[in-house]
Amino acid sequence: MELQVQIPPCVIRVLVVISPEIKNLLEEIERKENSFLGAEDEAVQTTYRKYASHAHKAIVFYVGVSLLGVSLYFMTPFLLEDLNSKTNETIEEHHFIVSSWFPFDQNRYYTLAYLIQFFGISYGFSYICNTVTLYFCMFIFTTTELKIMQHVLKNFSSYARRYERIFNLSYEDAQRALVRNIIIEHARLIKFVEVVNKLIKFTMLADFLVSSLQMAFLAVQMLDDEIPFLLRCESFSFLIVCTIQLFLTYWHAHLVFIESQNIAQAAFESEWTTYELDVKKSLIILIHRAQIPLCFFVGPIYKMKIDTLIVVTN
C-alpha cells in the first residue's frame, strides 16, 4: 500500500518537470553555472564547486538509500516463499511485491506477474528519484547563488576595484555599477524563487498530505504483531527512505530561507561607511528587501522549513 500512494505525488511532479517553465529554469541555471565556472574569480568557483559537490553527495546518498529500500521490496516475496517451503506450508497464493490486479491467473503465471511488477515499480522508482533530486538540487543552487552574493557584498570594495580596472571606470562609478548589478541579480533570484514556488507548491502539498498519512500507516503496520517480521522490516525501510527524502527536501529549502536573510548581514559587514551616498542608499534598499526571506511553500499554507518537517513527522 505504501508504494501505491507514492504514485499521485510522483505523477504531479513529472507533469511539473516536463513543463516549459522548468525547461526555462534549467536553461537559466545552466547559464549561471557557466558564468560561475567562467569567472576569473577563485572564490566564486570554490563556492560553486563546494555546493555542486554537496549536491552530488546528497543525490548519491538519497538514491543509494532508496535503492536499498526498494531492493528489500523486491526480495521479500522470494524470502517469504522460501520461508513457507522450509516450514512445509502449501503455497496456495504466491507473494508479490505489492498487491495488484492482473487480467490473468497471477499465481499460475507467477514469474510473468512478478516481472511486470518489478519493471513497473523500477520505472516508477526512477521517476521518483529523478524528480525529488531535481527539486532539492534547485534549492541547493539557490543557496549557492545566495552564498556567492554574500561573498561579493562582504568584499564590495575589492570587487569595485576590479570593475574599475576591467571597465575603465572611476572608483565611484564602479561602485554604482557593482551595486546595480547586485540588485539586479537579487531581483532575478527573487523572481526565480517565485516561479519555482508557482510550479511546486501544490506538488509539495500533495507530498505533505501523503507523507503524513504514510508515516501514520507505516507506524501502525510496524507495531502490528500479526504482520510477518519481514513485512514489518519492509515497512521500516520504506519509513527510513521517506524520512530521508523529506529531510533532504525540507532542509535544503530551509537553507534558502536562512541564507536569503544573511544577504542583509553581508551588506552590513562591508565597508559601507566609505561608499558614495547613492551607493549607501542602494545598499539600504537591498538590506530592506533582504529582511523578507526567500522561501518555498507547501501549498498556500506552510513554508518549507524544518518546522514544517516536524509537523509532518508528528
pLDDT digits over 42-90, tens only? 889 999 999 999 999 999 999 999 898 888 888 888 777 776 666 655 5
| Cell digits of residue 89 | 506450508
DSSP helix, strand, coil percent of the chain (3-state; round to 5)? 80, 0, 20
Average predicted confidence (pLDDT) for the chain:
85
Residue 302, classed as helix, strand or coil, is strand
117 with 98: CB under 8 angstroms? yes
- 116, 120, 208, 225 from 123: Cα distances, Å: 11, 5, 23, 32
* pLDDT given at position 304: 86
Written as nine digits, the cell of 188 is 532575478
Inter-residue contact 148 to 47 (CB < 8 Å): yes
Is residue 312 within 8 A of residue 211, CB to CB? The reply is yes
Record the cell numbers describing residue 52, joined without a space: 555542486
Look at residue 260 in the predicted model and tell me its pLDDT.
Answer: 94
**Nine cell digits for residue 132:** 525529488
Task: Please give the grid coordinates belonging to residue 186.
Answer: 537579487
Q: Residue 72: which H helix or E strand, with range?
A: helix 42-86
- When pLDDT is averaged across residues 262-273 and rounded to a whole number, the result is 90
Identify which of 245, 236, 237, 242 has the alpha carbon closest to the alpha carbon of residue 68: 237
Pair 7, 124: CB distance under 8 Å = yes
Domains in the chain: boundaries: 4-53+131-313
Amino acid at 160: A
Phi-psi region of 293 (alpha: psi -120 to 50; beta: other; left: phi over 0): beta
Q: Tell me the torsion sign for CA atoms 168, 174, 178, 184.
A: negative
Q: Which of 127-141, 177-191, 198-212, 287-301 has the lowest mean pLDDT?
A: 198-212
Q: How many residues does the chain have?
A: 314
Per-residue confidence (pLDDT) for residue 90, from 0 to 100: 54
What are the CB-based long-range contacts (under 8 Å, 24+) for 82-86?
Answer: 83/230
Residue 87 has a pLDDT of 60
Cβ neighbours of residue 33 closer than 8 Å, sequence gap 6 or more? 48
Look at residues 94, 112, 93 and name the one whose alpha carbon lies nearest to residue 102.
Answer: 112
Checking if the pLDDT of 254 tops 90, the result is yes
Average pLDDT over residues 95-101: 77
Q: What is the pLDDT of residue 89?
A: 55
Q: What would the grid cell of residue 102 be?
A: 492482473
pLDDT tens-place string over residues 11-25: 888 888 888 999 999
End-to-end CA distance of the chain: 21
With the CA atoms of 243, 249, 251 and 253 taken in that order, what torsion angle do they form, in degrees rounded to the nearest 10? -160
Residues 6+ apart with CB under 8 A from 299: 201, 202, 204, 205, 208
pLDDT tops 60 at residue 2? no
Cα–Cα distance, 39 to 56 (Å, whole number): 22
Written as nine digits, the cell of 130 is 529523478
Q: Is residue 152's pLDDT more than 90?
A: yes
CB count within 10 Å of CB 312 equals 19
